[in-house]
Amino acid sequence: MNGNTKVKACAAAMGLFLAAGCSGGGEDAERTGAGAQTPVPATGAAAQVQQQFEQVVDAVLPSVVKIETNQGEGSGVVYDGQGHIVTNAHVVAGARQIRVTAASGGSALDADLVGAFTPDDLAVVKVDGGSLKPAAWGDSSKAEVGQMVMAMGNPLGLAGSVTNGIVSALHRTVSTQGEGDSQGSTIADAIQTSAPINPGNSGGALVTLDGKVIGVPTAAASDPGAGGAAPGIGFATPSNTVKRIVPQLVRTGEVSDSGRAALGVVARTIVDPQSGQRSAVAVVEVTEGGGADKAGIEAGDLILSVNGTATPDQTALSSVLANMKPGDVVTVEVQKPGGSKEQVKVTLGQLPGDN
């Protein structure tokens, strides 16, 4: 899965159905009589790894919460001792009511939305009262492919669930599709993991074996051929992005320093009415004084590519820009209303907050 990846965000808006497959006895019941298999206790390195997993779960799970809204369920991670909780923007998008329950149980607490930054799919909610334990946030730039990790959250409504796997890849650029009140996001530097991520895991914790949160599970890859999620391919927003965006949301409810590049346009995808294929991005509005404006890009122009990478839709454009920084100079190919094409140099600005 090289390059940009379209994925499905993993908030849950469904119930959990369990198949009736439990045995009531007979040959499938546990054997405790003569001839029963002798238990084999874990020893050596295996015992150490098992013990470490247990210690990490004991340490981190109290910092993971279940988030319920009037639209569905998701997860969250306690950010500080003042009741601020990090989750995904799509988990709380359009929510009229938000309630938080600790993974260890207890009474649900009412929460208020502090702010959200949709491009990175991050949001902060706040509860008053309770005794929630802040998580320890790690440095995602030190993550290594092959590193063992655990995903903690609320998959399918099962609060306090833990899965494990490895860091499968780093520096992915993934795009989630808009759904309901969620606009969809394009996340740069995402961590790919084999730890299973299911609906409801969104907003939870991707944790290393030293008990540090290095990512927020956000989405699972979908397999168009199978018509569902691709097993063992999930993505998390890196903790360093959380540490850049969340403090701003906590302070003001908005993001003024996103660190994300922007052309300085409002655009929409053009779809060919005959083929149904997406062909280009049309400029609807140009930000006065922005990079596109200074380069001569106008409303009505079509953006065909950036630095030679085709931009047949807004997702492709967002994916290209997600890997760039404000101040970068890029070559943008545009098509004018009359049909002529030209290449212009654009100095990228900064993507503003969406609050």
pLDDT digits (tens, 9 = 90+) for 209-249: 999 999 999 998 877 666 666 789 999 999 999 999 999 99
- Residue range 278-300, pLDDT digits in tens: 778 999 999 999 999 999 999 99
Burial of 338 (0-12, 13-18, 19+ CB in 10 A): exposed
**Confidence band of 25 (pLDDT split at 50, 70, 90):** very low
- Determine the pLDDT at residue 35: 67
**57, pLDDT greater than 70:** yes
pLDDT in tens, 150-161: 999 998 888 899
Of residues 156 and 33, more confidence is placed in: 156
Establish whether 128 is a catalytic residue.
Answer: no
State the catalytic residue, choosing from 63, 120, 121, 258: 121
From 63, 90, 120, 140, the catalytic residue: 90
Taking the C-alpha atoms of residue 290 and residue 332, their distance in angstroms, rounded to an integer, is 14
Helical (H) or strand (E) element with 125: strand 122-127
Catalytic annotation present for 28 = no
Task: Answer yes or no: 84 catalytic.
Answer: no
Does 61-127 match 5-9+135-178+185-251 at the fold level? yes
Q: How does DSSP classify residue 60?
A: H
Q: Which of 75, 185, 194, 202 is catalytic?
A: 202
Tell me the CATH number of domain 261-350, given options 1.20.120.1150, 2.102.10.10, 2.30.42.10, 3.90.550.10.
2.30.42.10
Q: Which residue has the tokens 């198949």?
A: 19
Q: What is the CATH code for 61-127?
A: 2.40.10.10
CATH architecture of 5-9+135-178+185-251: Beta Barrel (2.40)
In tens, the pLDDT along 182-216 reads: 678 999 999 999 999 988 899 999 999 999 999 99
For 339, counting Cβ atoms within 10 Å of its Cβ (0-12 exposed, 13-18 middle, 19+ buried), the class is exposed
- pLDDT given at position 19: 38
Q: Are 122 and 88 in contact (CB under 8 A)?
A: yes
